[in-house]
Amino acid sequence: VITPTQQDDPLQALIRQMARLPGLGQRSARRIALYLLQHRTDVMQPLAAQLDMAASQIHACKSCGNLDTIDPCRICRDDKREQSVICVVASVADIWAIERTGQFRGVYHVLGGVLSALDGIGPDDLNIPGLLTRVRDQNAREVILALGATVDGQTTAHVISDQLTAKPGLKITRLAQGLPVGGELDYMDEGTIGLAFAARTSL
């Protein structure tokens, strides 16, 4: 039972704020708050400082939407990367995931989501105009639509593809679909197995 006095308590306020973060609930927020208070000077205060610093120093790149301390971001200003190959992703987390593979040497474009009737996200909520401008200005030769293999992701890919095809000589690709690495057949859904069959490659 939380009395009115306790509700104004900085501890309860901290737990309430933490419980609103994605993936955390009341229980995990309480656990983290307790841990922080037990590691006040070595974890809690540095974290507060880090949050403040990140909030003031990190900004969205005006060109691609990536998060960085400089604008344009490190990827956009890297002249060893091919500015004519643009990989379209839904969110900055997808940039990080692709960068971890170390295989892509082009640039990115963050849409800020995918079209979703359920979540009320329409074409005007995504940075599609910015992509069209960049495709023209950077004289793009390939646009890779690296969107999730979901209905919403693939719908978004088709909508963008329709707007890009007007440009001659531009290659539009999307990520391959099939079995994930290490995927056992009997753990896969029928959709994935069906797709992998249809798109089978010769050995």
Min dist. Cβ of residue 53 to a second copy (A):
5
3-state secondary structure of 90: coil
Residues that bind a second copy (CB under 8 A): 1-2, 5-6, 9-11, 13-14, 17-18, 20-24, 28, 30-37, 40, 43-55, 57-58, 67-69, 74, 91-93, 96, 99-100, 102
* Closest CB to a second copy among residues 58, 199: 58
Cβ proximity to a second copy, 21 vs 176, nearer residue: 21
Q: Exposed e or buried b for every residue in 140-159, given b needs 16+ CB within 10 A? A: beebbbbbeeeebbbebbee
Pairing, β 59-60 against β 82-89: unpaired
**Cβ at position 109, least distance to a second copy in Å:** 17
Residue 134 C-beta: closest distance to a second copy, Å: 22
Minimal distance, residue 2 CB to a second copy, in Å? 8
Nearer to a second copy, 15 or 196 (CB): 15
Residue 13: both structure tokens together:
């306020």
Question: Residue 66 is inside which H or E element, if any?
Answer: none
Structure tokens at 101: 């593979």
Dihedral angle sign, alpha carbons of residues 7, 10, 13, 18: negative
